[in-house]
Chain A
Amino acid sequence: MAIFDDPFDAERNLRPACICGQHRSAAEHDRASHSLRCEPAEDRRYEGVVASALVRAVFPRDAARRAFLKSVGASTALAVLSQFFPLKTATEAFADTGTPEKKDLKVGFIPITCATPIIMGAPLGFYAKHGLNVEVVKTAGWAVIRDKTINKEYDASHMLAPMPIAISLGLGAQPIPFVVPAIENINGQGITLAMKHKDRRDPKDWKGMKFAIPFDYSMHNYLLRYYLAEHGLDPDTDVQLRSVPPPEMVANLRAENIDGFLAPDNICQRAIYDGVGFLHVLSKDIWDGHPCCSFAASREFITTAPNSFAALTRAIVDATAYASKAENRKLIAEAIAPANYINAPVTVLEQVLTGTYADGLGGIKTDPKRVDFDPFPWQSFAVWMLTQMKRWGQVKGDVDYKAIAEQVYLATDTKKLMQEMGLTPPASSYKTFSVMGKTFDPDKPDDYLASFKIRKAS
């Protein structure tokens, strides 16, 4: 992924480097470190940012700088510059981002692979690296995680991407301003059907079926409704949608209480693993690159402990960067499988994370982007979710899409933070994307909404 490339690494396009930057390849890195832990070369990244700023300051003109670099070579140039400029001290000052007000933090998570960056931050030491002592606490369900975060039992949490918007708007809860500094994962869901429906693959035949979704304010709900509506079914009248906690989904599918579900992953793969269902379609095939879960905190936490919040966000962005690399996925699956974290068979997590999986019908499929990790909280994601909330009657009346999106999805702050970390975030906070072939333009949400024939009459 472009934003995680080290811009100062001359070999970056030639082969994937390892996370710590000290080895040429991931394989070499794996050989070097037998333990799970590896410290990414944060300092080197910061040093690069400072050094390039310095070179630019000394030679403000591009041509002159290039000539200088060409004649003496980049490393000599750096050595010469550091003779009269304390590069090390400057880098330290730059990397020193203020001591966290609160070091011992509690972060809640739901045991699904979406929470991978939050969970692995603990066993792989990403929180510790940023000076935090974080306890990741497994939580029973989305409503409980919401209440516990609102009650300040947790300092921050894993939430479904639309949840912080819903909480901020006061949908299904008291309105409390919540923010999203980082998206957890993109893609990583799927529609799983019971084995008995293996010959009913056309959604047009699904009238009267019962589907489970994890929560009302979830991408799962919006994507399933979108998918059904695109195939001509009205999700409110033609099928039954039920909110069911993920672990109960597989049990219900086995008991034939439901015909299928759109669930977060490892649940889809678990149904296949246990032989009760098959994967009808990945959510990636509905909308490639859709957000799924988010990392959320209350606005109050930012104001009372800004440095802790920044350190936490940095740890999450770091962990997300690590998780986005395909070569790390196997290791992550092993790190997060134990009972203390997700509590699932390693095979299941490995299939989800590596993207080489059994589809439940006897075939093995490969899709490395089945689940992916990208922390940037695109505000256009929030606008899209708001259009769907309005489409299905969760919000009524006029909606100031962009104002809400900008309040909840902290794209600007995260951009700054990522730049400080030496990453290259996208320049804009909005982008257009396409969902099942239909383009979404964040500048025209009302037109987009009006273009849907099937929607709840408001």
Chain B
Amino acid sequence: MSTSLRLRAAIVSIVLFVAFLGIWQLATRGTAPAANMSPEYAKLMGATATQGASAMPGPIEVGAKLWEHVRRPFYDNGPNDKGLGIQLGYSIARVSLGYLLAVVIAIPLGFLIGMSPLVSRALDPFIQILKPISPLAWMPLALYTIKDSGLSAIFVIFICSVWPMLINTSFGVASVRKEWINVARTLEVGTIRRAFTVILPAAAPTILTGMRISIGIAWLVIVAAEMLVGGTGIGYFVWNEWNNLSITNVIIAIVLIGLVGMLLDQVLARVTRLVTFPE
């Protein structure tokens, strides 16, 4: 039953994908070649103007280009042109740094906030205001104060991914069932031991959920940040290809960004399942 459901779902997925490719191909067929254009003039013009080719590439074009990238992911043609593998590596390294920094700060801080209703109430308005700020809004401030674009990008990832973790950790800690804490208290368990053996395991699923939301945000932010600071990374790649109006490469980058984002999310989903417990 379950396998047949899975099989049927897979078939529907494939059918949807093929239908999507078909519609895409049809939609980007373009029009007839432009009539009465002198050959000398046509030589100076692009395919959009001469062949009536659509400005949007079709799936075949994208596939061919993707194959080209997959075949040489690590080429290095100088500071402004590197292979997609290298670009993704830079982006993942930046995300990891900013994200780990956020974990190191948000989880202990969230713990403290969650254990004290007073601090929790006092800090709440600040967190609520800082949480919805876009990474692009932080960027000029970071560039101006930190005076280093690489660090600024990491800072922006940090500042955007810290809030969901902070909120979830404090929420998870605050909503540990009162009975468990009371039992620990009756058994005269010390504060630190109580934090590590009772509260942490109980709050772990909520904390991990926060971390999972955060990694998604961090990955969203990196593209925007790299488009601004430039130099390296998948966001820079998107910007550089956009400069050349190469929509084909932009689509490839979009697909890759989606894939890597999904992978990061899946890793944390696995970890979440490890710490989940039945009640």
The answer to whether A and B belong to the same complex is yes
Q: Is A436 an interface residue (CB 8 A)?
A: no
Known: A275-B46, A343-B243. A147 touches B79 (CB 8 A): no
Q: Is A21 an interface residue (CB 8 A)?
A: no
* A343 surroundings in chain B (CB, below 8 A): 80-81, 240-241, 243-244
Question: Which residues 326-380 of A have a CB within 8 angstroms of B?
Answer: 338-341, 343-345, 347, 351, 357-358, 362-364
Interface bits B38-53 vs A (CB < 8 Å: 1, else 0): 1011011110110000
Instruction: Specify which of A140, A152, A357 is in contact with B239 (CB 8 Å cutoff).
Output: A140
A339 to B78, CA, bound (A): 10
Known: A153-B149, A351-B44. A273 touches B81 (CB 8 A): no
A139 to B143, CA, bound (A): 14
* A347 surroundings in chain B (CB, below 8 A): 43-44, 46
User: In the assembled complex, how far is the CB of residue B17 from the closest CB belonging to chain A, in whole angstroms?
Assistant: 28
Q: Is A325 an interface residue (CB 8 A)?
A: no
* A251 surroundings in chain B (CB, below 8 A): 242, 245
User: In the assembled complex, how far is the CB of residue A337 from the closest CB belonging to chain B, in whole angstroms?
Assistant: 10
Q: Is A272 an interface residue (CB 8 A)?
A: yes
Are A135 and B79 touching (Cβ within 8 A)?
yes
Interface bits A289-324 vs B (CB < 8 Å: 1, else 0): 000000000000000000000000000000000000
Residue on A nearest B247 in the bound complex, by CB: A251
Q: Is B196 an interface residue (CB 8 A)?
A: no
Q: Give how many A residues have a beta carbon under 8 Å from the other chain's beta carbons.
A: 40
Residue on B nearest A150 in the bound complex, by CB: B147
Are B147 and A358 touching (Cβ within 8 A)?
no
Interface bits A230-260 vs B (CB < 8 Å: 1, else 0): 0000000000000000110011001000000
Q: Is A136 an interface residue (CB 8 A)?
A: yes
* B228 surroundings in chain A (CB, below 8 A): 140-141, 144
Instruction: Specify which of B37, B77, B240, B242 is in contact with A138 (CB 8 Å cutoff).
Output: B240
Q: Is A65 an interface residue (CB 8 A)?
A: no
Q: Is A205 an interface residue (CB 8 A)?
A: no
Are B48 and A274 touching (Cβ within 8 A)?
yes
A122 to B43, CA, bound (A): 29
A366 to B78, CA, bound (A): 34
Interface bits B219-256 vs A (CB < 8 Å: 1, else 0): 00000000111110000000111111100000000000
Instruction: Specify which of A139, A270, A272, A357 is in contact with B230 (CB 8 Å cutoff).
Output: A139
Are A144 and B230 touching (Cβ within 8 A)?
yes
Known: A339-B81, A358-B45. A270 touches B245 (CB 8 A): yes
Are B40 and A364 touching (Cβ within 8 A)?
yes
Q: Is B55 an interface residue (CB 8 A)?
A: yes
A122 to B38, CA, bound (A): 37
A345 to B228, CA, bound (A): 24
* B126 surroundings in chain A (CB, below 8 A): none
User: In the assembled complex, how far is the CB of residue A352 from the closest CB belonging to chain B, in whole angstroms?
Assistant: 11
Interface bits A254-280 vs B (CB < 8 Å: 1, else 0): 100000000000000010111100000
Residue on B nearest A348 in the bound complex, by CB: B46
A135 to B231, CA, bound (A): 11
Q: Is B124 an interface residue (CB 8 A)?
A: no
Q: Is A137 an interface residue (CB 8 A)?
A: yes
Known: A135-B79, A341-B80, A357-B44. A273 touches B49 (CB 8 A): yes
Interface bits B62-87 vs A (CB < 8 Å: 1, else 0): 00000000000000011111000000
Residue on B nearest A350 in the bound complex, by CB: B44
User: In the assembled complex, how far is the CB of residue B117 from the closest CB belonging to chain A, in whole angstroms?
Assistant: 43
* B239 surroundings in chain A (CB, below 8 A): 140
* B45 surroundings in chain A (CB, below 8 A): 272-273, 275, 358
A264 to B228, CA, bound (A): 20
Interface bits A134-158 vs B (CB < 8 Å: 1, else 0): 0111111101100110011100000
Residue on A nearest B144 in the bound complex, by CB: A147
Are A275 and B48 touching (Cβ within 8 A)?
yes
Residue on A nearest B36 in the bound complex, by CB: A362
Q: Is A188 an interface residue (CB 8 A)?
A: no
Instruction: Specify which of B41, B79, B149, B245 is in contact with A340 (CB 8 Å cutoff).
Output: B79
Are A250 and B245 touching (Cβ within 8 A)?
yes
A93 to B230, CA, bound (A): 42
* A344 surroundings in chain B (CB, below 8 A): 243-244
User: In the assembled complex, how far is the CB of residue B236 from the closest CB belonging to chain A, in whole angstroms?
Assistant: 8
A246 to B40, CA, bound (A): 28
Q: Is A111 an interface residue (CB 8 A)?
A: yes
* A357 surroundings in chain B (CB, below 8 A): 44
* A250 surroundings in chain B (CB, below 8 A): 245
Residue on B nearest A123 in the bound complex, by CB: B78
Are B41 and A138 touching (Cβ within 8 A)?
no
Are B41 and A362 touching (Cβ within 8 A)?
yes
Are B81 and A338 touching (Cβ within 8 A)?
yes
Q: Is B148 an interface residue (CB 8 A)?
A: yes
Residue on B nearest A147 in the bound complex, by CB: B143
User: In the assembled complex, how far is the CB of residue A395 from the closest CB belonging to chain B, in whole angstroms?
Assistant: 22
Are B143 and A138 touching (Cβ within 8 A)?
no
A139 to B227, CA, bound (A): 9
Question: Which residues 396-441 of A have a CB within 8 angstroms of B?
Answer: none
* A341 surroundings in chain B (CB, below 8 A): 80
* B77 surroundings in chain A (CB, below 8 A): 338-340
Known: A151-B143, A273-B46, A340-B78. A364 touches B229 (CB 8 A): no
A interface list, Cβ under 8 A from B: 111, 122, 135-141, 143-144, 147-148, 151-153, 246-247, 250-251, 254, 270, 272-275, 338-341, 343-345, 347, 351, 357-358, 362-364
Given pairs A147-B149, A247-B242, A351-B44, 10 additional interface contacts (CB within 8 A) = A148-B149, A247-B245, A254-B55, A272-B45, A273-B46, A275-B48, A343-B81, A347-B44, A357-B44, A364-B44
Interchain residue pairs with CB less than 8 A apart (27)? A137-B80, A137-B230, A137-B231, A138-B79, A140-B230, A140-B239, A148-B149, A151-B143, A151-B147, A151-B149, A152-B147, A247-B242, A247-B244, A251-B245, A270-B245, A274-B48, A275-B45, A339-B77, A339-B244, A343-B240, A343-B244, A345-B46, A347-B43, A351-B44, A358-B44, A364-B40, A364-B44
B interface list, Cβ under 8 A from A: 37-38, 40-41, 43-46, 48-49, 55, 77-81, 140, 143-144, 147-149, 227-231, 239-245
Q: In the A-B complex, list the 9 residue pairs whose CB atoms are closest, starting with the nearest.
A: A275-B49, A340-B81, A358-B44, A151-B147, A339-B81, A340-B78, A273-B46, A247-B243, A138-B80
